[in-house]
Amino acid sequence: MVVKLVYVALISLLAAVSAGGADRERRVIIFDGVATEVEASAVESEDLWVTLKDLTRATKFVLKPQGMCREELCFPIPKARKSAFVSKKGSATWFNLSEFARLVRQPFAYDQKHAVWFFGPRPDARNGYLASLEAPDFKLPDANGRLHSLSDFRGKKVLLLTWASW
């Protein structure tokens, strides 16, 4: 039994050494539902710093003089806070993706154990109903079986009561 435990411990140690401490050297970014493995920053930080190459590969955003851009969409980077977003380390330029997400009010979550960062949709890209707080039109019968649509009450105050069996 002791031999088996030593064997398992040795395999675990070899796996960690051969991975080179993969938790510290690689990160996974989930952006627009696509998972991309990226190089981790050498700087210890609570934020996610990625190379510009990895940033573009994972998010399709490109750093341009006018700001962080993706196709026609550009977000200016505040000049007074540029160092919070961009850092030059050796030959690589690093970008703080988590700080950018805070700037554009994009929700994100980080799983430290697995080194995975998940970025949700920005407010401008979310479901139109949530962004506008406008309910979709639907039809329901009243107690007498007559159909009524929500749009019939447009401009009037409506109280919607819902119930679900689950």
pLDDT computed for residue 9 by the predictor: 39
Domain span at residue 46 reads 25-123
Is residue 137 included in any domain, yes or no? no
Is residue 19 included in any domain, yes or no? no
Burial grade of 118 (CB within 10 A; 0-12, 13-18, 19 or more):
middle
Task: Compute mean pLDDT per 10 residues along the chain, 166 residues long, and list them.
Answer: 39 43 69 90 83 94 94 91 91 93 93 91 66 72 90 84 76
Model-level pTM?
0.62
Is residue 73 included in any domain, yes or no? yes
- Which two tokens mark 31? 């952006």
Work out how many domains the chain is built from and give that number: 1
Q: Do the beta carbons of residue 49 and residue 97 sit within 8 Å?
A: yes
pLDDT computed for residue 159 by the predictor: 82
pLDDT computed for residue 44 by the predictor: 74
